[in-house]
């Protein structure tokens, strides 16, 4: 059907409710809007669904969510997993509770039990819950840090990680097979509860989750020693982190935790934020104001589904609060864990540190220093989660820590996704250690730079919406792939990796070898002077992202180098 025929079908068919039809009648005559809503199905990709909330095939609504769930249910049944059930969590966004119920009742109608949280919960707790309940799969209704008009649907498998190959493609195929909305099953909620196919979960999972987090603490005695002195400001950005973050810090003994009052409660419109993302400096305005009033040591914020952590730390020499990238905060936590586990004799045998290919190169330097195996995977925390599963299956290594540049990390194996609640806990323990030793968190970051080198990373993204946008992004990737640049400004390309074609080419010798990682539409340029650049279309937004990294001799030198590399990239594209 053409987009116009799809529009008419939604207007006329009895399957769709009156509110949906009224919304669609409201755009009658707006050809561009009708086309955008119906020119394609909202794509169920390797990360699930994500899109603008509204009526239409290319939107997040109860019909597209139910249709995707029918595909997932068909796959679960084909894998013999019907009896194991599915855990479902949701965040504070518009329609999140409704989408969670729509998914649960579709599963129930297919004879698959749904375990649904009684209120909003962090994404990492869903990962923990599905493993604790021995479920075959899990669903989180969240659009993470996207703007308020978005919502999303992330699918997890029984290991607790987001679905990886080959299952991701197999699920996508099952979802694509559901072409008729009338094939999609659902049932009455009371009937599902009576049949034992819909079960509410809550406190029992929360308590078990908290106990697992506490196992990652190395020096509880240091927290108690400085509890009267250390001051922490925290914002949950109107999301799911408020209750678990406050609870874990309180139970560990931190006494001075100040929550930003304007951003404490759930708010699907994120009224106090332009963009609920801890990567955005503007999102910290209220937290920094409170931090100055309280003279806080550190300022923390978690994104709405509490899987990412952003931080600022006080520089006592200037009196200013310094922003930390995800690479910086991740390195602080990683180095603290590796150092203190080594010092206390609690490092497991064959320890491993896992990062993604676009994470700072400082991670490799730190891992080498502590004699920890360093492993790089594709972008996306599910690949880090996959490594934990492989370690357990083969006994080859023991996972100690994993991180990605986009403000996500995981200490421990209680979850298989990035966990901002455990990250807050580890960061605060590290800050307590700094306090005990008479230094600030910023001082500690400078020590790492002095020891390992002044690594600096940045991102450059181009957003191109609509049909033409995806075509332009594909053309950009084709140009880089088929005619890779020999240099970016003064930096020569030493090695070029095309993960889609599984080829690594040495530009000096012309020698080629496999990349060693799964097929993915990602291009990586290893440059001279310990620099690099990587190109990757986003899987969740209409944009192409370029990641870059350099190593300098000082903060200023690293900044200068990364700016020159960014300009060279812009000139090329």
3-class DSSP state of 402: strand
Q: Are 414 and 466 in contact (CB under 8 A)?
A: no
Q: State phi, psi for 188 to the nearest 5 degrees.
A: -65, 140
Pairing of strands 114-117, 86-90: parallel
Q: Which of 184, 199, 145 is nearest to 65 (CA)?
A: 184
Between CA 173 and CA 397 the distance in angstroms is 34
Q: Are 178 and 57 in contact (CB under 8 A)?
A: no
Q: Are 76 and 112 in contact (CB under 8 A)?
A: yes
Name the DSSP class of 48: B
Between CA 430 and CA 412 the distance in angstroms is 16
Between CA 100 and CA 124 the distance in angstroms is 16
Between CA 394 and CA 376 the distance in angstroms is 18
Between CA 527 and CA 132 the distance in angstroms is 44
Catalytic status, residue 144 = yes
3-class DSSP state of 194: helix
Count of beta carbons in the 10 Å neighbourhood of residue 271: 10
List alpha helices for 253-325, DSSP H. Answer: 285-294
Using the CB atoms, write b or e for 141-163: b if 16+ within 10 Å: bbbbbbebebbbbbbbbbbbbbb
State the Cα angle at 386 between 153 and 214, rounded to 5°. 85
Burial group, residue 291, by CB count within 10 angstroms (0-12, 13-18, 19+) = buried
Between CA 213 and CA 208 the distance in angstroms is 9
Between CA 104 and CA 116 the distance in angstroms is 7
Between CA 193 and CA 216 the distance in angstroms is 37
For 231, the token pair is: 């001051």
- The residue from 144, 235, 406, 531 that is catalytic is 144
Q: Are 243 and 259 in contact (CB under 8 A)?
A: no
Pairing of strands 114-117, 198-201: parallel
State the Cα angle at 38 between 154 and 541, rounded to 5°. 40
Name the DSSP class of 397: -
3's enclosing H/E stretch is helix 3-12
Active site (catalytic) residues: 144
């Amino acid at each position: 059907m053409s987009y116009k025929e799809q529009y008419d079908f939604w207007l006329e068919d009895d399957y769709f409710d009156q509110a949906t039809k009224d919304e669609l009648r409201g755009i009658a005559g707006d050809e561009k809007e009708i086309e955008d809503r119906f020119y394609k199905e909202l794509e169920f990709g390797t990360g699930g669904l994500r899109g603008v909330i509204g009526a239409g095939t290319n939107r997040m609504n109860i019909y597209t969510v139910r249709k995707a769930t029918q595909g997932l249910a068909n796959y679960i049944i084909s894998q013999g997993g019907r009896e194991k059930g599915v855990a479902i969590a949701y965040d504070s966004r518009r329609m999140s509770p409704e989408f969670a119920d729509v998914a649960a009742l579709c599963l129930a109608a297919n004879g698959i039990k749904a375990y649904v949280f009684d209120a909003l919960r962090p994404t990492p707790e869903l990962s923990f819950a599905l493993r604790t309940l021995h479920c075959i799969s899990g669903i989180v209704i969240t659009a993470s840090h996207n703007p308020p008009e978005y919502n999303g649907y992330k699918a997890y498998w029984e290991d607790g990680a987001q679905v990886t190959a080959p299952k991701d493609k197999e699920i996508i195929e099952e979802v694509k097979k559901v072409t008729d909305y009338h094939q999609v099953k659902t049932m009455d909620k009371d009937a599902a509860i009576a049949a034992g196919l819909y079960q509410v979960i809550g406190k029992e999972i929360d308590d078990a989750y908290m106990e697992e987090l506490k196992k990652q603490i190395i020096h509880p005695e240091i927290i108690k020693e400085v509890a009267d002195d250390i001051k922490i400001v925290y914002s949950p950005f109107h999301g799911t982190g408020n209750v678990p973050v406050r609870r874990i810090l309180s139970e560990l003994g931190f006494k001075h935790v100040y929550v930003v009052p304007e951003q404490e409660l759930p708010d699907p419109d994120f009224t106090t934020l332009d963009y609920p993302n801890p990567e955005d400096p503007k999102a910290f305005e209220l937290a920094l104001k409170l931090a100055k009033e309280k003279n806080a040591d550190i300022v923390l914020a978690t994104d709405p589904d509490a899987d990412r952590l952003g931080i600022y730390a006080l520089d006592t020499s200037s009196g200013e609060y310094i922003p930390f990238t995800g690479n910086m905060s991740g390195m602080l936590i990683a180095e603290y864990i590796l150092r203190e586990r080594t010092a206390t004799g609690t490092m497991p045998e064959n320890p491993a540190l896992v990062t993604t290919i676009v994470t700072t190169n400082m991670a490799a330097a730190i891992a080498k220093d502590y004699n920890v195996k360093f492993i790089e995977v594709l972008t996306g925390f599910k690949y880090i989660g996959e490594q934990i599963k492989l370690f357990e299956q083969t006994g080859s290594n023991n996972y100690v820590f994993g991180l990605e540049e986009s403000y996500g990390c995981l200490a421990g194996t209680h979850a298989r996704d990035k966990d901002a609640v455990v990250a807050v806990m580890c960061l605060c323990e590290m800050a307590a250690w700094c306090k005990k030793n008479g230094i600030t968190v910023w001082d500690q970051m400078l020590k790492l730079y002095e020891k390992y080198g002044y690594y600096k990373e940045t991102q450059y993204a181009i957003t191109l919406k609509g049909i033409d946008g995806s075509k332009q992004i594909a053309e950009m990737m084709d140009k880089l792939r088929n005619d890779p640049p020999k240099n970016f400004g003064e930096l020569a390309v030493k090695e070029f990796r095309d993960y889609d074609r599984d080829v690594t080419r040495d530009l000096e010798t012309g020698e080629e070898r496999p990349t060693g990682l799964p097929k993915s539409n990602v291009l990586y340029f290893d440059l001279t002077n310990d620099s690099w650049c990587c190109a990757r279309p986003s899987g969740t937004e209409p944009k192409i992202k370029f990641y870059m990294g350099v190593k300098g001799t000082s903060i200023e030198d690293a900044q200068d180098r990364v700016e020159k590399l960014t300009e060279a990239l812009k000139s090329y594209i």
